[in-house]
Structure 1
Amino acid sequence: METLQIILGLAIIIITFLDFFHTTLSGNGFGWISEWLNRTLNRLIIKNRSRSIYNYSGVIHLLLTTFVWMALHFSGTYLIFTAGENMVINGTTFVPATYAERFYFTGYMLSTLGIGDFTPGNDTSRILVGILSFSGFILITTGLTYLLSVVSAVLSKKELSFYISTVGKDYEGLYHYFKKQDELEFLMSDSSDLRQQILKNASSYLSFPMVNYFLTKKRNSALILQLARLHEVLTVLQLDWGEDTIQRAKIQKILNAIEKYLKIGIEGPESAIHKEEKLRTLRGSWKKYGYDFPDGKEIDPWFTSSLKYAGWDWDDVYKLDPE
C-alpha cells in the first residue's frame, strides 16, 4: 500500500510537470490540463460579460493556472509523505509526524529545504526529498519567468492593436485612409513590417497561449477586432487591383498573415456557430462604395470563433465609432 501511494503521488507530479513544461517551454500551446482549465474559465468569463472581470481576465487565467500547477504538485508530494509512518519524523524526538505536520513539512520542503524541525525518516524519504525539493525550485523559477514572458507578449499584442486603430478608428476609417493614398502608398512601404508584427503575435499563441485570454472591452486594444476590420478592408481593396499588380500581391501577403494568426490560434472554426446570412448582410454595407464583397470565405468561421471567445462579434467589426 505504501509503495502504491508513493507511485500515485509521483504520477501526479509527473503529469503536472508534463503539462507545465508543455505550456511554458515547448512552444506548442497548452498542455491538456491547462487547455481544459483555461477554455472552461474563458467561457465562464465570456458569459458573465462584466467589464471589471474582462479587465482582469488575463490575471485570473495566469493565477488560477499557476495555482492548479502548484496545488497538483503539492498534492502529489503530500501523498508521498503520508504514505508511511516514518516518511517524516520530528527532528528532535524522532516521533512520526502528524498529518498536519507533514502538510507543513511538504510546504517548506517545496519552497526551500525546510527548517530542520521535521526530517525524512528513512532512505526512501531522503531520496525523494532531494528530488522533490529541486522540482519545487524548478516550478517556481520557471513559472515566474513564464509570467514575465506572457506580460511582454501581451504588450506586443496591444501595440499592434493600437497601431491598426490609429490608422482608422473603425472599418470605414481604415478604408478611407487607404483609399485616399496614391497606389496604396502606405501598404507598399509598410506592408512587410505589418506582416511581421502580425506573424510575431501569431507565434505568441504557441509560445504563450495564455496571451489569448487577456480580454478587453476597449476596441482600440482588442487585436482580434482590429485584425477583423483590417481583413475586411483589405479584402475589398484587393478588388481594385489586377492579379499581376504589386499592390494585390502585398495585400494578399497581409491577408495571409492574418489568416495564419487565426489558424495558429486556440479557437478553431467549430468553436462557435457561424451565421453566414448575418455576415452577408453586414458586408452589404460595402455596396455604398461600389463593392460586392466575396461570399463564403473559408476563413470566416475562424474569425467568428476568435471574435466570440474574445468577447466580440461581427456586429462590432462593422460598428462605426460615434466620435
Structure 2
Amino acid sequence: MQLLYAIAGIILIIFVLKDLVTTTLSFQGGGLLTNFLSEKTWRLCLKMAGNDGKKKLLERVGHMLLVLIILTWVAGMWLGSFLLLLSDPASVLNSNTDEVTTAWEKLYFAGYTLSTMGNGDYKPSSYVWDIVTNLLAFSGLAFITISITYIMPVLSAVILQVKLSVFLNSLGNSPQQMLLNSWNGENFNRLLKHDADLADMITQHSQNHKAYPIIHYFHSVEQRQSVILNLTIFDEAINFLQFGVQDEARPSDEDLLTIRGAQDYYLFVLERHQKNEEQEPYSFPEMNWNALIEAGIPLKTDRLSEFNSTETYKKRRETLTYLLYQDGWQWKDIYRPNPV
C-alpha cells in the first residue's frame, strides 16, 4: 500500500507539471487536464444559459476558468506531494519531539513546502526525504512563478481579441452593412485600405488562440465585442465579395490574398473544435441583399440564391457554425431580417 502511495504521488505530480508546462510554455495549446476542465465547464455553463450567447452568466466563465485551472494545479501538486510523503509513515517528524507525524500533519507539511513558506514545525526524517522536500520546494516555487506569469499574456490576448472585434464591428455589424460601408460607388477600396492591419490582428489573434486556447471562453454578450460573431460577419462579407459581386466592381483574388490568408489561418487553428452532438445541421435564414442593389452595387443576381446553399463555402462555414454554436450564437445573429 505504501508503494502505491509513492507511485500515485509521483504520477500525479508529473501529470500536473506536464499539464502546467504544456499549457503555459509550449505555445501549442492547453494540456490534457486544462482542456478537459475548460471544455466541460464551458459546455455546462452554456447549457445553464440555454445556449444563449446573450446571457450574462457566460461573461464570467473565462475569468472563473482561469482561477479554476490554477487552483486545480495547486490541488494536484499538493495531493501528489501528500501521497508521496504518506508512502513512508516516518517521512516527516515533529521538529520538537521527533515524533512521527500524522496524515493531517503531513498534508500540512506538503502544503507549506510547496508554498515555500516553511515554518520549522516539522522536518524531513532522513537525507532522502531532505532531498525530496527540496525538490518539492523548488517545484512549488517554479509552479507559483509560472502560474502567475501565465495570467498576464492571457489577459493581453483577451484585450487584443476585444480590440479586433471592435475594429471589425466598426466596419459593419452585418455582412451587408460591411459591404455597403466599403462601397465608394465604384469599388471596395475602403475595405482594402484596412487589409494589412486586419490581417495582422487576425493572425495575431489566431496565434494567441493557439498558444492560449482559454481565451476562447472569454465571452462577451455584446455583438461589438464578440470576436466570433464579428469574424464570421467579416468572413461572410469577403465570401460574398468573391461570389456575388460582378468582377469589374469587386477586388481581385490577388488583392484579397493577404486578408484571405489570415482568415484561412484562423479557421485552420480553430478546426480542432469538434461538432457538438446536440447541434442541429446548419441552415441560413433568408438573406436580404436589397440594400446593396439599391446602393448600385453590381451583383450577380442569378447566383444570390446559390450563396445561401450549405454546399457553398461548405468547409469554412461548417467550422464557423461549430464556433458560433459553441459560443451561444446562430446564423440568424449574422443574417438578421433588417441587416442595415
> TM-score of the superposition, structure 1-length normalised?
0.91
1:9 maps onto 2:13 in alignment: no
Indicate the residue corresponding to 1:264 in structure 2.
269
Q: After superposition, where does 1:171-250 map in structure 2 within 5 Å?
A: 171-180=175-184, 182-239=186-243, 240=245, 242=247, 247-250=252-255
Sort the Cα spacing of 1:275 and 1:262 in 2 relative to 1 into closer, same or farther, 3 A: same
More helix by share: 1
Report the CA distance between 1:256 and its aligned residue: 3.4
**8 Å contact 1:187–1:251 — kept in the other structure?**
no
Equivalent pair of 1:57/1:213 in contact (CA under 8 Å): yes
Q: Pick closer, same or farther for the CA change 1:241–1:91 going to 2, 3 Å.
A: farther
Deviations 1:42-93 (A, max 9, x none): 1011111283321211111111111111111111001111111211111111
- 1:164-203: CA deviation from partner (whole Å, max 9, x where unpaired): 1112133332121012364322233221221111011000
Give the Cα–Cα distance (whole angstroms) in 1 for the partners of residues 270 and 110 of structure 2. 38
Tell me, in whole angstroms, the C-alpha distance in 1 between the residues paired with 2:338 and 2:113.
56
Q: Distance in 2 between matches of 1:120 and 1:236?
A: 70
Matched, 1:133 2:137: yes
Give the equivalent residue in structure 2 for 1:69.
73
RMSD, matched Cα: 2.3
| Partners of 2:40 and 2:19 in 1: CA distance | 17
Residues 63 and 74 (structure 1), Cα distance of their counterparts in 2 relative to 1, 3 Å cut: same
1:100 & 1:189 partners in 2: Cα distance? 66
Q: 2:288 aligns with which of 285, 289, 297?
A: 285
Deviation at 1:322, TM superposition (A): 8.8
Counting matched residue pairs gives: 319
Task: Classify 1:169/1:91 alpha carbon distance in 2 versus 1 (closer, same or farther; 3 Å).
Answer: same
2:174 to 161, 170, 173: 170
The offset of 1:9, in angstroms, is 0.6
Report if aligned partners of 1:205, 1:266 keep a CA contact under 8 Å in 2. no
Q: Which runs of 4+ in 1 moved over 6 A?
A: 320-323
% same residue: 26
Work out whether residues 274 and 304 of structure 1, in 8 Å CA contact, stay in contact via their aligned partners in 2. Answer: no
Give the residue type in structure 2 aligned to 1:315.
K
Distance 2:271 2:145 in 1: 26
Gaps of 5+ in 1: none
Secondary structure (helix, strand or coil) at the match of 2:10 reads: helix
Return the alpha-carbon distance in structure 1 between the equivalents of residues 15 and 78 of structure 2.
Answer: 13
* 8 A Cα contact 1:241 1:248, kept in partner: no
Deviations 1:116-143 (CA, angstroms, capped at 9, x unpaired): 1111112221111010111111111101
TM-score computed with the length of structure 2 as normaliser: 0.87
Question: Structure 2, unaligned stretches of length 5 or more?
Answer: 294-300
